[in-house]
Structure 1
């Protein structure tokens, strides 16, 4: 076996086996699914093995969590220092997040189109400085560069950080990035063309792989509403061209579709919705750079909507079987026309079939067959599952069946009763505790109830990412006497964060986070029923239970950690759900304050 560069002195239990299995996948140029519990050291194992087996290949470490970007970069730093290697690692974020032009960076929809228009019109100083190489070249001497390093350098040198990151990526051995760089076809093709990288010469490591399908779906949609159409009409009218005036007339007819008072909150529409207005995308006049410059000059608008409308119609006329098209009522008078791709494999299959090797890892990848099917993985994909390296006696698992978040069973009295039970426990132990619920609304309700029952500081997850980051930092600092973190299952607090020692000694899971059975969810279930005869599980049950398992994994992060998990919902005692949980999470002990106190005292 090839010598493995490993930054630590020893492997954790089972980590050595993980390394050998990853090596097998790389040697055979295959795809591998690796379900390894939290704390096993997946990132270290995957990067160390990939680096040790890499010869003139690029390693892509892709993850949706920015916290994992730092951990991956730290692994490379450790290997470079320990073995005097000369590995080049670059961390790159999305183009908008790496933009140094603040007004441009803050634009939402239309950012990419407007960015391109500024470049084409030679109106972006940072981009011009990059093309003219008007900056200090010492940055190319660095071995490990975070996105923050590159952004800070770009702002200081008045050069485009994004283009600089692309340039640095050309000679990088390891590229640490978001999913979109590989699993958005347009972004991937542009990135590989600029950097000279090829899928066939790439080893892909997908972290938090259980999130990949949902992440692709959440990014694979287009929305059109009346306000956007009216803005697009103004922009088309501002172009001194007969074809665009005719386009304005067509868009006015499209806007008429939004005037009708629909009774249903959501309902499907056919692809031929615009048949009396527009039969195919090719009927639209070509939108050139000079047209965008003319719009920007006449409308004095920073954020152009017409390019986005073009993208909407380009996708609308696609024949992909997994596309759903529907009207969605935002309030009593506003309607969104939504187009969404349900099947992520139309993107992922190409990537995994053409990559040299791929490692997909997570603490929750059961059942393996679902991920092979949903992501379109090769039929010879290798699958591996590992036990926790930590002592079983360090984790206490309990249940409480007196409460349920199931809609027809929910009431305020039950919430008050369960918050009282939880308050009794947290008031009698030290160390930090987390409580996770299915939604922000339910988390807020519980937070309000709990504040009346404990003197401990309670932190509520915020929808704003920056505020949430500060909340986590403050929460970690309050270990010892302890505080309470109230968050959402499937959210940033319940996945991908480390809380070793007294930073987290216990987790309460209130309810099962089944999503609301929206039209989209129903269509997803229907689609996977037609493809795999397993729609309910693939589209609803399995992804939901995965969120629960991920949240429970926040408790035990090191060999010496001790903590408890309480699953609170009568449905956790039902076999059809308890059988989906890992063996060490199937509760058979009723929640007890005295039992928890005894657990920590022994």
Structure 2
């Protein structure tokens, strides 16, 4: 029986522990109960979660246990500010204009609320309050963004230094998103590089020279691998902000400048933030739904050999109501899926998916990338007649689109079309019949690129599988998270996943057992004649 007492005993015995369990198991609630027990034993807890939405959810769970006054939501300024201020200057402008009503800059000892507007009503700033409380309270909640933002990371390190190492527990939720390393991207306009080169910067000159030598043709190619500090700093006076941004990434594990025919990007991969964080705590608990035993070797990248617990099976009534079909004989590779026969086949599957679905309930179709989603929707989508269709191709509009989709799904069929990496794929819970079926068009491998090849070689040198870590692990994680959207209230509703690519079945041994045993491979022609919701 896995409960908070058992987890705490294992953490004290082993030092670190991985718990892999199906979406809906209750990992976040378990994390909160473990944090409560750890603090009652005299310790301190840092919880890292994926996003603001999950952080606010954790806040609600702590409130249910009567612990809200012992928790700081130490999130970034732009995350906590209801008016999306990005800097202290923007905060001041909002206050002077009267938009923000904050007047009292003193931080109250505690605030028993998870509603950011409640802070504003009390004339205090939610960012400043939680920043101050993070240095006073025993439980601090942050997001994964702290690992890639240098300013936020340094603030976090200051808190850990105040705490000391002994008795400090790190709980990292959804850790599959960060354990292969933290990736950052800085975009550079060619005109800025030209101005920088004119000021005498050698790095900008080299990049411009390489741009003239390569042919991108829509593919992102590598211009330079890493950079030299002297090349970066010479002639940087007029581009000081940009130079500082680049300088922060000097010494990262892997960096490269790339070019796609329009923009230059500095892409960097670093394992240091996670390694450093793990070394500053005495114990660590990692929670995920998609780190099967076959992927455990990846944790060696950050110097960990933790204990491992996987919840291999769902409850019997859940398993009975989940149907997962793989389209055998169909392989939607990058080149094939844009051809007319395959585009027509995808439309056939969408129509069949909708027409066989229950009279009421939400259906979601996930395309492997936002680029392919745009190509298909703008040129080839033949929407099913009489069913409201919602297209989510802009993450900034996700709340609005998802709310409308949910409302329609409560009374009739509703179709959402989006991409695999959209906000829908992870962290959003659909209750009852708000989502009864999902379709994934193609196995969601990251697009092969020169940067991807560099990462694969880097991982291989680190002693873990290059292809497995760079391509297969993200694809499996996405698949698990997308199918996981179906698992809420699965005991009361039959739900269906259609996976349109034979590679889902080929790589099922890398999937969690609860998912692998649910998969049925059926030839794609026969699948088009099958009612996936019917039968036992």
Separation in 2, partners of 1:188, 1:41 = 28
Shift of 1:438: 0.2
Shift of 1:450: 4.8
Q: Deviation digits for residues 424-483 of structure 1, max 9, x if unmatched?
A: 331242211111110123334554655443320111113232x11111111111123120
Q: Give the match for residue 348 of structure 1.
A: 274
Q: Give the match for residue 237 of structure 1.
A: none
Q: Report SS of the residue matched to 1:170.
A: coil
Choose from 301, 304, 310 the match for 1:385. Answer: 310
Q: Label 1:207 to 1:38 Cα distance change in 2 as closer, same or farther (>3 A).
A: same
Q: Label 1:253 to 1:483 Cα distance change in 2 as closer, same or farther (>3 A).
A: closer
Q: Give the match for residue 528 of structure 1.
A: 459
Matches within 5 A, 1:395-414: 395-401=322-328, 403-410=330-337, 411-414=339-342
- Kindly indicate whether the alpha-carbon contact (under 8 Å) linking 1:495 and 1:551 is maintained by their aligned counterparts in 2: yes
Q: Label 1:328 to 1:594 Cα distance change in 2 as closer, same or farther (>3 A).
A: closer
- Kindly indicate whether the alpha-carbon contact (under 8 Å) linking 2:15 and 2:282 is maintained by their aligned counterparts in 1: yes
Q: Deviation digits for residues 64-102 of structure 1, max 9, x if unmatched?
A: 23321222111111111xxxx574223233233445887
Q: Deviation digits for residues 334-363 of structure 1, max 9, x if unmatched?
A: x52x4433242x221121122132211111
Shift of 1:140: 3.3
Give the number of the structure whose residues are more often strand, by fraction: 2
Separation in 2, partners of 1:508, 1:308 = 42
Separation in 2, partners of 1:540, 1:257 = 28
Q: Label 1:91 to 1:314 Cα distance change in 2 as closer, same or farther (>3 A).
A: closer
Q: Report SS of the residue matched to 2:510.
A: coil
Shift of 1:525: 0.6
Count of paired positions = 509
- Kindly indicate whether the alpha-carbon contact (under 8 Å) linking 2:49 and 2:172 is maintained by their aligned counterparts in 1: yes
Separation in 1, partners of 2:344, 2:465 = 38
Shift of 1:213: 3.7
Q: Label 1:470 to 1:261 Cα distance change in 2 as closer, same or farther (>3 A).
A: same
Q: Does 1:584 align with 2:517?
A: yes
- Kindly indicate whether the alpha-carbon contact (under 8 Å) linking 1:353 and 1:377 is maintained by their aligned counterparts in 2: no
Q: Give the match for residue 560 of structure 1.
A: 492
- Kindly indicate whether the alpha-carbon contact (under 8 Å) linking 2:19 and 2:309 is maintained by their aligned counterparts in 1: yes
Q: Give the match for residue 206 of structure 1.
A: 172
Q: Label 1:510 to 1:272 Cα distance change in 2 as closer, same or farther (>3 A).
A: closer
Matches within 5 A, 1:15-94: 16-28=1-13, 30-54=15-39, 55-80=41-66, 87-94=69-76
Choose from 207, 213, 216 the match for 1:262. Answer: 213
Separation in 1, partners of 2:212, 2:23 = 50
Q: Label 1:270 to 1:544 Cα distance change in 2 as closer, same or farther (>3 A).
A: closer
Separation in 1, partners of 2:291, 2:461 = 22
Shift of 1:51: 0.7
| Unaligned segments of structure 2, at least 5 residues | 97-101
Q: Deviation digits for residues 464-508 of structure 1, max 9, x if unmatched?
A: 32x111111111111231201112113211111111211111111
Q: Single out whichever of 33-42 and 254-263 deviates more from structure 2.
A: 254-263
Q: Give the match for residue 598 of structure 1.
A: 534
Cα RMSD of the aligned pairs, angstroms, is 3.4
Q: Give the match for residue 3 of structure 1.
A: none
Separation in 2, partners of 1:65, 1:215 = 17
Q: Report SS of the residue matched to 2:2.
A: helix
Q: Deviation digits for residues 130-170 of structure 1, max 9, x if unmatched?
A: xxx961768534234455544x35xx73x654333211223
Choose from 492, 496, 502 the match for 1:570. Answer: 502
Q: Does 1:360 align with 2:286?
A: yes
Separation in 2, partners of 1:597, 1:313 = 55
Q: Deviation digits for residues 392-425 of structure 1, max 9, x if unmatched?
A: 2111121223543202433222222232233133
Separation in 1, partners of 2:12, 2:353 = 51
Shift of 1:561: 3.4
Matches within 5 A, 1:416-427: 416-427=344-355
Separation in 2, partners of 1:39, 1:339 = 37
Q: Give the match for residue 439 of structure 1.
A: 369
| Unaligned segments of structure 1, at least 5 residues | 1-15, 106-110, 128-132, 234-247, 288-303
Q: Label 1:209 to 1:314 Cα distance change in 2 as closer, same or farther (>3 A).
A: closer
Q: Deviation digits for residues 301-348 of structure 1, max 9, x if unmatched?
A: xxx9522313324644x3x5x3232341433xxx52x4433242x221
Q: Report SS of the residue matched to 1:96.
A: helix
Shift of 1:200: 4.2
- Kindly indicate whether the alpha-carbon contact (under 8 Å) linking 1:425 and 1:593 is maintained by their aligned counterparts in 2: no
Choose from 83, 104, 109 the match for 1:140. Answer: 109
Separation in 2, partners of 1:519, 1:28 = 43
Separation in 2, partners of 1:89, 1:396 = 40
- Kindly indicate whether the alpha-carbon contact (under 8 Å) linking 1:69 and 1:177 is maintained by their aligned counterparts in 2: yes
